[in-house]
Amino acid sequence: MHIVVCLKQVLDPEITPKYFKIDPETNRPDNSDSDLVLDSFAENALELAIQLRDKVPGATVTALCLGDEESEEVLRRALAFTANAAVRVWDEDWEDLDGQAVGHILAQTIKSLGGAQLVLTGYQASDIEEGLVGPVMAEELGIPCVTLVSDLEVEENRTKATVEVEGGYAVVSVPSPAVFTIISSESNVPRLPKVKDIRLARSKPIVLLESEDLNLDTERSQSGVKLERAYVLNREVACDVLPGEDGAELAGKLAERLFALKIL
């Protein structure tokens, strides 16, 4: 069984707000003062992929990432999780891609790798939060897609998925191959890689594929959405001090002010 897990490098969501900036020239987050990390849902997907690999004799996990050379750090992390192989796909013309284009490119990359019985990806990335890539890949590959998955169980020619629904969970069974978008749950909490595996990951090869290596549709591998402007809202905070020492009097003044502002 071949399991492909799709990863994404994003701006650290724990960044202090004062360090979050948008480059006005590119409309992209300026990461000069912050770290880039593996997306949290993608890390849950990676953990689940490794768990499945360890339960199915002969199974292998390939970590796949669309990104520039800097994104190899998330692939190194996947290798430290003991993924069997790592593949990075990139072209200098892919600077601004939307979810549709990313889904097309990743699907064609999976085809070039000989396909997969299971394709796992995060439910949505923490930077854009579109949630498009998984369903687009499934459409391109012509296979089922199950979203909001917390756990998976492999059966003969089928996969059983635990899915989050309103008010609880449901269990669905779909034929393999299939695409699953993964959410965070107690069953897929990311492991802490062993020091030995982290060291080994630094020397393992990462395969690089470019557009010429794939059977891409030129139009579909370009973004169909143009971002005109991205900016950080300028929020001004004012503080009014109510004079006085008597608690009851101050409470009355505060109530009057809140009524005037239509808060009460």
Query: By C-alpha distance, which of 91, 22, 46 is closest to 201?
Result: 46
* pLDDT value of residue 161: 97
Rounded Cα gap, residues 12 and 137, in angstroms: 25
Q: If DSSP states are collapsed to H, E and C, what string results for 5-72?
A: EEECEEECCCCCHHHCEEECCCCEEECCCCCEEECHHHHHHHHHHHHHHHHCCCCEEEEEEECCHHHH
Q: How many CA atoms lie within 13 A of 252 on its CB side?
A: 6
CB 135 within 8 A of CB 147: yes
Has residue 141 been placed in a domain?
yes
The CA radius of gyration of the chain, in Å to the nearest whole number, is 23
Fill in the amino acid letter for 51.
Answer: Q
Of 152, 153, 103, whose CA–CA distance to 125 is shortest? 103
Owner of token pair 């339960």: 55
pLDDT score for 120: 98
Residue range(s) defining the domain that contains residue 124: 2-213
* 261 confidence band (pLDDT: 50, 70, 90): confident
In a domain, 15, yes or no: yes
Would you put residue 41 in left (φ > 0), alpha (ψ -120 to 50) or beta? Answer: alpha
Domain count, the chain: 1
* Whether pLDDT at 33 is above 70: no
- Token reading at 12: 């650290």
Q: Average model confidence (pLDDT) for the chain?
A: 91
Q: What pLDDT is attached to residue 238?
A: 76
Residue 13 and residue 43 in contact, taking contact as beta carbons nearer than 8 Å: no
Residue 185: give its domain's CATH number. Answer: 3.40.50.620
> How does pLDDT run across 87-141, given as a tens digit for each residue?
999 999 887 788 999 999 999 999 999 999 999 999 998 877 788 999 999 999 9
| Domain presence at residue 30 | yes
- Classified as helix, coil or strand, 262 is coil
Instruction: State what percent of residues in the chain have pLDDT above 90.
Output: 65
* Helix (H), strand (E) at residue 203: helix 195-203
161 assigned to some structural domain:
yes
Q: Which pLDDT value is given to residue 65?
A: 98
Tell whether the model's pLDDT for residue 23 goes beyond 80. Answer: no
Query: What are the tens digits of pLDDT across the range 203-237?
Result: 999 999 999 999 999 888 888 777 777 777 777 77
The answer to whether 48 and 26 have CB atoms below 8 angstroms apart is no
Q: With respect to residue 110, please indicate whether it lies within any of the assigned structural domains.
A: yes
Rounded (to 5) percent helix, strand, coil in the chain: 30, 25, 40
Let me know: does 3 contact 10? Beta carbons within 8 Å.
no
Is the distance from CB of 179 to CB of 137 less than 8 angstroms?
yes
Structure tokens at 230: 């991205």
DSSP code of residue 191: P
pLDDT digits (tens, 9 = 90+) for 60-96: 999 999 999 999 999 999 999 999 999 999 999 887 7
73 belongs to a structural domain:
yes
Q: Residue 30, Cα to own-chain centre: how many angstroms?
A: 19
In a domain, 178, yes or no: yes
Q: Is residue 59 part of a domain?
A: yes
